[in-house]
Amino acid sequence: MRPTPTVALLIGLGSCSGGGHQIAIGPPPPAQTTGTLAGPLCEYDHCACRTGTDDAGFPEGNRKRFEVRLSSAQQLWLKLPNQVLYKNAEKPEACFYVDLAPGQHPVELRASDKNGVSAEVQIHELGTTTKSWYDTFRFECGNPGVCSFEELDALKGEYAQIKRGLHDPCGSTRIKSLAWDHGKAPDGTHPSELVVQATLDVYKFAPTKAHGEACGEGTGRPSHEAPTGDAPATDAPTQ
């Protein structure tokens, strides 16, 4: 029996342009949400999207609550350790709420459509002290419409400008090891398969400044606390 082809982890983004080779990517996960969802907006395998600041509830202990928004006219999957979040094609947007402990959590966005994918994910961290939601990460290609290789190339430049992987300097989570790879649709200009991988590096400290305040590079943390992750580094997409 031949093994199912899978995408190699953390492919350099420089090799993921429209003019490169076509890779073999395994099939997407089953069309279902698995794992534990958190907060009063969630029931069984789905959640309602928040409409206010605190209607998603607050986590217990030292864990932090995150909102994951998947948007597309197609199916989308987002994988976390021991968890899969699934959005069907009938809903243009689906929200999920999960609690994560401080530390590093790999995430993977998966999109698949033979005529070209359309994908957007937004990840927001809830500040329990500030009652503020932080723009932890956003990836968007082809929503609305169909993702193109030109868009993916442009995204490389955008992410390279984000210092130390802090998409929201007032928050307490940075993005590390961002990479993606793809297959080609029949027209040769749009990816028919897309895998986006990154690591959420969740710090222990609670942010002290609200989203949108003047925070500089990660100055949303108390001055006496240090992050739990690695020493400061620039995590631009791999070239």
208 lies in some domain: no
Q: pLDDT by residue (tens digit) across 5-63?
A: 333 333 333 334 333 344 458 899 999 999 999 999 999 999 999 999 899 999 999 99
Mean pLDDT to the nearest integer, 133-144: 97
228, part of any domain = no
Q: Which long-range contacts (CB under 8 A, 24 or more apart) does 224-231 make?
A: 227/172, 227/201, 227/203, 228/102, 228/103, 228/202, 228/203, 228/204, 229/104, 229/174, 229/176, 229/201, 229/203, 230/176, 230/201
Place of tokens 């897309």: 194
Work out the pLDDT band at 217, boundaries 50, 70, 90: low
Residue 126 lies in a domain: yes
Least confident of 76-80, 87-91, 186-190: 186-190
Average pLDDT over residues 101-125: 97
Domains of the chain: total: 1
**174 falls within a domain:** yes
Identify the domain containing residue 189 by its residue range.
13-22+32-202
Q: Does 210 map to a domain?
A: no
Residue 195 in domain:
yes
Is residue 1 one of the residues assigned to a domain? no
C-alpha span between 108 and 196 (Å, rounded): 6
